[in-house]
């Protein structure tokens, strides 16, 4: 079952509950901010200080970075603009008692074209079951091609950041954005300080190994992964986040970024998809 809800300030979201899992998805940004398998702890971290206000990005869950990841393109807002725009609910389907699909859509408008002058349709489909799957399909409805970078900016809830290791990125070259140097991973990642890395290569499944559980991440049509944790100094300077929040999460972001960008010809589509499952 599902219900269309809103907070006291009118901020709208969809509340989903089936026999396998439950989730909450904001219409702004097609942003899933809660997901858990029944009887298990939440998969996603959500800041207790996060704003649920129109035009303000939610801190936590899975923000969608679109049509740009990061801030390398100074003509666009950091991480694009989709995460603060209201999507339309197209459909909710419940083919089995254990599975719910939610389809949200954003179309180009006069407002979006002031920021990015292209015609498009962006479809986001969530599959809520014992596994969380999200697909993001970009259709170029313009008469000219455009460049696309994008990401699922996923905040995973962890027992403590120092309990975490991340496997599946060994032998994958990465850019350390803190010192602008390329490097290569030779063992599972542990986090003892600020981390902001972009991995690009033939990436299969990634496993987030926390003291209390393991989460498998599998992406499709994506050859980029970002691993991020702001650590103490930067965390204390960030909005919507308490000073020690860095201990509670790690971001592992499946993306098309940097050399993995997409050129979408007029009339064509590109789909990126990601699967999350506790193992």
pLDDT tens for each residue of the chain, 279 residues long:
999 999 999 999 999 999 999 999 999 999 999 999 999 999 999 999 998 999 999 999 999 999 999 876 778 999 999 999 999 999 999 999 999 999 999 999 999 999 999 999 999 999 999 999 999 999 999 999 999 999 999 999 999 999 999 999 999 999 999 999 999 989 999 999 999 999 999 999 999 999 989 999 999 999 999 999 999 999 999 988 999 999 999 999 999 999 999 999 999 999 999 999 999
Q: What is the pLDDT of residue 185?
A: 85
Q: What is the pLDDT of residue 198?
A: 96
User: Would you name the residues annotated as active-site residues?
Assistant: 153, 253
Q: Are 200 and 223 in contact (CB under 8 A)?
A: yes
Q: What is the pLDDT of residue 51?
A: 86
Q: What is the pLDDT of residue 75?
A: 83
What predicted TM-score, i.e. pTM, was given to this entire model?
0.97
State in words which class domain 2-278 has. Answer: mainly beta
The domain locations on the chain are 2-278
Q: What is the pLDDT of residue 61?
A: 98
Measure CA 34 to chain center.
12
Instruction: Say which residue the tokens 């987030």 belong to.
Output: 208
One DSSP character per residue, the chain reads: -EEEEE-TT--EEEEEE-SSEEEEEETBTTEEEEEEETTS--SB-B-TT----TTS--SBSB-EEBS--TTS-TTS-TTBSGGGSBPEEEEEEEEETTEEEEEEEEE--HHHHHHS---EEEEEEEEESSSEEEEEEEEE-SSS-EEE-EEE--EEE-S-GGG-EEES-TT-EEEETTTTEEEE--S-EE-SS-EEEEEES----EEEE-SS-EEEEEEES--EEEEEE-HHHHHHHSTTS-TTGGGGEEEEEEEE-GGG-EEE-TT-EEEEEEEEEE-
């Amino acid at each position: 079952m599902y219900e269309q809800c809103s907070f006291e300030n009118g901020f709208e979201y969809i509340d989903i509950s089936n026999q396998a899992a439950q989730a909450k998805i904001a219409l702004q940004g097609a942003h899933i901010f809660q997901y858990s398998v029944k009887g298990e702890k939440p998969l996603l971290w959500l800041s207790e200080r996060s704003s649920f206000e129109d035009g303000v990005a939610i801190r936590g869950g899975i923000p969608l970075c679109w049509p740009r990841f990061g801030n390398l393109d100074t003509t666009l807002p950091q991480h694009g603009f989709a995460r603060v725009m209201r999507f339309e609910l197209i459909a909710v389907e419940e083919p089995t008692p254990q599975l719910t699909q939610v389809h949200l859509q954003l179309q180009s408008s006069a407002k979006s074209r002031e920021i990015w002058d292209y015609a498009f349709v962006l479809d986001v489909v969530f599959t809520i079951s014992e596994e969380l799957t999200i697909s993001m399909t970009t259709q170029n409805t313009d008469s000219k091609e455009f460049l696309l970078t994008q990401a699922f900016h996923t905040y995973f809830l962890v027992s403590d950041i120092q309990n975490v290791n991340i496997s599946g990125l060994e032998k994958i070259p990465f850019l350390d954005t803190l010192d602008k140097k390329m490097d290569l991973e030779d063992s599972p990642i542990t986090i003892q300080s600020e981390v902001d890395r972009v991995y690009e290569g033939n990436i299969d499944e990634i496993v987030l190994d926390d003291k209390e559980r393991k989460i498998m991440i599998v992406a499709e049509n994506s050859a980029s992964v970002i691993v991020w944790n702001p650590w103490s100094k930067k965390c204390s300077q960030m909005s919507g986040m308490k000073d020690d929040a860095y201990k509670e999460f790690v971001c592992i972001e499946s993306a098309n970024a940097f050399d993995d960008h997409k050129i979408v010809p007029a009339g064509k589509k590109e789909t990126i998809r990601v699967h999350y499952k506790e193992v």
